[in-house]
């Protein structure tokens, strides 16, 4: 699409109106003090008022204060008018926010209403999966060794959960006790020494393996391609509120741990 000479454009700049993706906007910094705003339009109108139902990724550099202010206005499923430049292959540079609440675009409002409708998939064994468009995950609630957890499968809105991912789920659930033991034992092996050497409170005594396990609480399991999995645990304040993450795959078992958060 040629940006030059279009109505509403200046040089290689163009004013567009777009529907912000359900995941909203975010920011990051790789060279202090510059921060980068990042968001995607799920549908948008170009300077000729042509509607595009394709993603448009918009990024722009700014200060942290500017980023915080813009993220309040450019949020999930908002319809905003912005000035962009350097449009190329589905990406563009953010210049300025012109209007944070465009209410009059009937088609974009209709698309927003469609996207707001929950998408579900019924599985004969694992029940109702609901698609979370903010993160592109199919999610459901299940019991794991008697405790309720959330199951996450990456996917797309226009297709049901992948059969290969569901096969991994089936393998894990058919052998819950075994996999739970392997995951917990690996967490103890990798993280108990760290806890006892570096993360004890002033009046806290070193923990035994059983005491360490008793404070862990599984919250969710994420499934990935080729039998991959990630077990996310509440740490029970073992690491002052960090999660305890155990990752691995069906073939090799648990292979790595981390304490993100």
Q: What is the pLDDT of residue 4?
A: 34
Q: What is the pLDDT of residue 88?
A: 93
| Cβ–Cβ under 8 Å, residues 17 and 11 | no
Q: What is the pLDDT of residues 161-187, one digit of tens each?
A: 999 999 999 999 999 999 999 999 999
Q: In Å, how far from its chain's centre is CA 223?
A: 14
Q: What is the pLDDT of residue 30?
A: 87
Q: What is the pLDDT of residue 5?
A: 34
Instruction: Find residue 94's DSSP bridge partners.
Output: 84
Mean pLDDT over 139-164 rounds to 96
Mean pLDDT over 28-46 rounds to 94
Q: Measure the CA–CA gap between 10 and 32, rounded to whole angstroms.
A: 31
Q: What is the pLDDT of residue 9?
A: 47
Mean pLDDT over 181-195 rounds to 98
- The kind and range of the H/E element at 161 are none
Confidence (pTM) = 0.80
* pLDDT, the chain, mean: 94
pLDDT above 50: residue 3: no
Residue 91: which residues within 8 A CB-CB, separation 6 or more? 56, 57, 58, 59
Backbone angles phi, psi at 236, to 5 degrees: 60, 30
pLDDT above 90: residue 8: no
Structural domain spans, the chain:
9-111, 119-258
Q: Measure the CA–CA gap between 121 and 73, rounded to whole angstroms.
A: 33
Q: What is the pLDDT of residues 204-217, one digit of tens each?
A: 999 999 999 999 99
Mean pLDDT over 179-198 rounds to 97
Q: What is the pLDDT of residue 1?
A: 37
* Among the listed residues 225, 232, 228, 227, the one whose alpha carbon sits nearest the alpha carbon of residue 257: 232
Q: Name the superfamily (CATH) of residues 9-111.
A: Nucleic acid-binding proteins (2.40.50.140)
pLDDT above 60: residue 7: no
């Amino acid at each position: 699409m040629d940006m030059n000479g279009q109505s509403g454009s200046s040089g290689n700049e163009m004013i567009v109106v777009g529907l912000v993706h359900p995941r909203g906007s975010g920011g990051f910094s790789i060279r202090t003090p510059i921060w980068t705003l990042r968001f995607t339009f799920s549908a948008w109108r170009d300077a000729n008022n042509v509607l595009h139902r394709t993603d448009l990724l918009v990024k722009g550099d700014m200060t942290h204060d500017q980023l915080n202010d813009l993220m309040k206005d450019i949020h999930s499923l908002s319809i905003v008018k912005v000035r962009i430049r350097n449009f190329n292959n589905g990406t563009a540079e953010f210049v300025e926010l012109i209007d944070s609440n465009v209410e009059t675009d009937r088609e974009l409002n209709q698309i927003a209403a469609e996207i707001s409708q929950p998408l579900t998939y019924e599985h004969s064994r694992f029940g109702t999966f609901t698609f979370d468009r903010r993160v592109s995950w199919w999610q459901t609630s299940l019991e794991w060794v008697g405790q309720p957890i959330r199951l996450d499968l990456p996917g797309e809105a226009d297709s049901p959960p992948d059969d290969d991912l569901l096969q991994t789920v089936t393998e894990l659930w058919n052998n819950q006790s075994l996999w739970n033991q392997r995951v917990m034992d690996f967490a103890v092996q990798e993280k108990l020494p760290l806890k006892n050497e570096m993360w004890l409170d002033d009046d806290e005594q070193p923990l035994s393996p059983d005491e360490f396990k008793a404070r862990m609480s599984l919250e969710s399991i994420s499934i990935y391609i080729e039998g991959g999995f990630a077990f996310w645990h509440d740490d029970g304040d073992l690491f002052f509120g960090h999660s305890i993450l155990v990752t691995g795959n069906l073939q090799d078992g648990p292979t790595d741990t981390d304490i993100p958060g």
